[in-house]
Structure 1
Amino acid sequence: MSRLSPALDASPAAVAPPRSRSPFATACARFLRNRAGMAGLVILLLIVIACFVGPWLLPNDPINSDWGSISLPPTWQNAHWFGTDELGRDLLVRTLVGGRVSLEVGLLGTLVSGLFGVAWGATAGYLGGRIDSGMMRIVDMMYAIPYMLIAILMMTLFGRAFYLVVLTISAFSWLDMARVVRGQTLSLRTREFVDAARAIGIGSRPIITRHIVPNLIGVVVVYATVTVPNIVLTESVLSFLGLGVQEPMTSWGVLIQDGAQKLESMPWLLLCPAVMLCATLYCVSFVGDGLRDALDPKER
C-alpha cells in the first residue's frame, strides 16, 4: 500500500484555523503603522518625561536665582541651556516645571470634563424626549454665557489657585463632549443589543453604563485628544492674561506672557516656552489623528 502524501495524512486537529485578532489589537496594529501618529506619540512621551523628571535631574533650581547669570542668553555656562531671566532663574528648568503644570491642567481638565460630558450626553441621548430636549437646552444656554467673563469673575472672587483654574476650564469644556456623545448615543439606542437588554428587563441606568458607554470609548478617546490641546491652550491664554496660576507656580502661558513683555531685549524668554507649547499641541494633534484613523470602523 502506498503511503499518503503529508497533506492528506495530516489530521484535522493539526490544521489550526488562523487566529482572529480582537478589535483592540487591530486598532493598535493600525496605529503602529501610522508614522505621523507614532512620531507624535514618541515626541509627546519625551516631553512628558522631561517635564516630570527633568527638573529633578538638572542642576539649577526654578525658583532660586543665579545672581552671576542674570539675563543670560542660551549658553553652556552653568548649564543655562535656555538662558536665564532678569532674576537669574534658569529658563530650561522653569519651562519644564511650567510644562508640568500645563500638562496637569490639560489632563485633569480633560478627565473632569470628559466624565461629566459623557454622563450628560449619554443620559440625554438614551432617554430622549422631553428629558433630552431639556438637557440640551441647558447646554445651549451655557454656550451663550461669555466664558472669559466667568473665568475673570471666578479668579477675582476665589483667587488663582491650581484647582480653581482646572474647575474654571472644565466648567465649559464638557459641552462639546456632551454633544458628541449624545449624537452617538442616539444611534446606539436603536441597536439590537440595546433592544435585547430592554426585553429582559434591564433598567435604563445599567443599559447606559454597561452597553452604551463601553461602545463610546473609541469616540471619547479620539475626542479627548482634541480636548487636551484645547484646555492647555485655554490655560495658556488665561495665564497670558494674568488669570492663570500664580507665583511661585508657573506655566507655559505665564512664561510666554513674561517673554512677550521682554521680546526685544530677551527674545529667548518667549521663544523657548512657545516652542515647547507648539510642539506639544502638534504632537497631541498627530496622536489624535492616528487614533481616529485606527479606530475608524470603516477601515476594519
Structure 2
Amino acid sequence: MVNKETSISKDMFAPAGIDPAKSEKIAKPSLNFWQDSWLRLRKNKGAVVSLVVIVILVVLALVGPYLTPYQFDTQVAKNNNLPPRVQGLENVHWLPFDGTLTRRNGTEYNAYEVRNVKEYYWLGTDGLGRDIFARLWKGTQISLFIAFMAALVDMLIGVTYGAVSGYIGGRVDSVMQRILEVIVGIPNLIVAVLMILVLKPGITPIIIAITLTSWTSMARVVRAQVLKFKNQEFVLAAKTLGASNSSIIFKHMIPNMFGVIIINTMFSIPNAIFFEAFLSFIGLGLQEPNASLGTLVNDGFKSMIAFPYQMVVPSIMIAIIMVCFNLVADGLRDALDPKMRD
C-alpha cells in the first residue's frame, strides 16, 4: 500500500523554469533566401571590403572627371610629362607628390619650378599635356561601362539560349549545342579584330566583340540548371496547371537560377575589363581623344622608362578592379550556393 504522505503528484513533474506558452516560440525572425545569403556574405570580410571599394570606384568614375579643373581631352603642350603634384604634399619629399623628376645622371629636379608651372596636376600629365587624374577616372568610367554592358548582353543571350536549349531538349538541343561548340572554337581575338575592322573602333564594336563569344559559358551553365530542374515537382505542377513553356522557363525556372546567373555575371565583368584593356593596349580599342584604362596603359608604356607613373597609375587601377570583382564573385558564390564550397 502507498502512503498518502509519500504519494507522487503531477505537480512534481512540472517543467522547472520553462513557460509552456513560450516553449514553442521561434526566437529568431524568419529569413528569406536573399536575407540569408546577405548574412553569409557579410561574414566574408574580403568580399565586403571589395564591394565597398567597387562602390567607391563607381562613384569616383562618375564624379572624378569633375573634381579637377582640367578636361580629360584638353591638351596643354607646354605642361607635358609633368609628375604628380598635390597641394599640401609638395613639401613632403618622401611622397611621390612633390613634382620632382630624376635625370639620367641620378640628380633630381622640380619639373614645375624649372618650367615655371603654377598649376597642380594631382597625378601628373601625359605626353600631350593632358591631366592624368581626369583621364584616369574617365577611362575607368568607360571601361566599367563597356564591362557592365557586355555582361548584361552576355547574360541576356546566354540565359535565353541555354534555357531554351535545355528545356526543349532532343534534336533541337543537339543542334543548338553544336552551334555553341563552333562558336567556342573561334578565338576571341579573331572575332574582335574582325568586328573592329568591319566597324570603326569605338565602344559599340568592343561590346559586340566581347559579347559575341563570351555568352557561351553562361549558356552552358543555364542549360545544366534547366536540365536539373525540368523534371522536378514544381515544373511538373506548372505543366499540369496548363502553364506555357515560356512561362515555365522565365517565371519558374530562371528565378530559381538567379544565384548561378549573378555569380557568372560577376565573373564575366573583370574578364570583359581585361579584354577591353588588352584590345586598347594593342591599338584595337578606343581612339583618341577617348580614354579607357587600356589606352592609358598603352600611352604610358611608350614613355615607361622616363615617366613610369603614366603607366603605373592605370595599371594599378585595372588590378584593383579585377581583384575586387573576383573577390566579390567568390563571396557571392559561397553566399548564394553554400554547396559550391564543397
| TM range, smaller chain | over 0.9
| Equivalent runs, 1:141-290 vs 2, <5 Å | 141-290=182-331
Q: Which amino acid aligns with 1:90?
A: D
Say yes or no: does 1:110 pair with 2:151.
yes
Q: What is the rounded CA distance, in whole Å, between the counterparts of 1:39 and 1:146 in structure 2?
A: 35
Q: Distance in 1 between matches of 2:166 and 2:150?
A: 23
Choose from 24, 34, 44 the match for 1:34. Answer: 44
Unaligned runs of 5+ in 1: none
| 1:66-94 C-alpha deviation (Å, 9 max, x unpaired) | 34422111222633121111111111110
Provide the rounded CA distance (Å) in 1 between the counterparts of 2:24 and 2:180.
Answer: 58
Counterparts of 2:312 and 2:146 in 1: how far apart (Å)?
A: 22
For 2:81, which of 71, 75, 95 is the aligned residue? 71
For the pair 1:46 / 2:87, whether they are aligned, the reply is: no
Counterpart residue type for residue 127 of structure 1 = I
**Secondary structure of 2:79 counterpart:** coil
Query: Are positions 1:294 and 2:303 aligned together?
Result: no
Distance 2:187 2:259 in 1: 31
Normalised by the size of structure 2, how large is the TM-score?
Answer: 0.81
Aligned counterparts of 1:13 and 1:29: Cα–Cα separation in 2: 27
Percentage identity across paired residues of the two chains: 35
CA contact (8 A) 1:31 1:37 kept: yes
Q: Give the number of aligned pairs.
A: 295
Deviation at 1:64, TM superposition (A): 1.1
Amino acid at match of 1:83: G
Which SS does the other structure have where 2:236 is aligned? Answer: helix
Between 153-162 and 89-98, report the one with greater CA deviation. 153-162
Return the offset for 1:132.
Answer: 0.9
Deviation at 1:181, TM superposition (A): 0.9
Distance, in Å, in 2 between the alignment partners of 1:146 and 1:15 is 61
TM-superposed deviation, 1:152: 1.4
Q: Which one scores higher on RCO, CA 8 angstroms, separation ≥ 6? A: 1
Task: Decide which moves more: 163-172 or 33-42.
Answer: 163-172
Structure 1 counterpart of 2:83, which letter? P
- CA contact under 8 A between 2:73 and 2:290: conserved in structure 1? no
In 2, Cα distance between equivalents of 1:42 and 1:79? 29
Q: Confirm or deny: 8 A CA contact 1:59 1:79 kept in the other structure.
A: no
Q: Distance in 2 between matches of 1:46 and 1:58?
A: 17
User: Residues 36-65 of structure 1, C-alpha deviation per residue, up to 9 Å, x if partnerless?
Assistant: 000101111111111111111222211112
Which structure shows the higher helix fraction? 1
- CA distance in structure 2 between the partners assigned to 1:223 and 1:234 by the alignment: 16
1:223-249 CA distance string (max 9 Å, x none): 111100001111111111111111221
Q: Which segments of 5 or more consecutive residues in structure 2 lack a partner in the other structure?
A: 1-14, 87-98, 100-118
Give me the whole-angstrom Cα distance separating, in 1, the residues matched to 2:281 and 2:230: 44
Which AA in structure 2 matches 1:17? I
TM-score with structure 1 setting the length: 0.92
Contact 2:126 2:310 in 1 (8 A): yes
Checking the alignment, whether the CA contact within 8 Å between 1:238 and 1:253 is kept in structure 2 is yes
Q: Is the 8 A contact 1:125 1:183 kept in 2?
A: yes
How far apart, CA to CA, are the structure 2 residues paired with 1:240 and 1:110? 21
Shift in Å at residue 146 of structure 1?
Answer: 3.0
CA-to-aligned-CA distance 1:182-208 (integer Å, 9 cap, x gap): 111111112110111112222211100
- Alignment RMSD (CA, Å): 2.1
Q: Distance in 2 between matches of 1:57 and 1:262?
A: 26
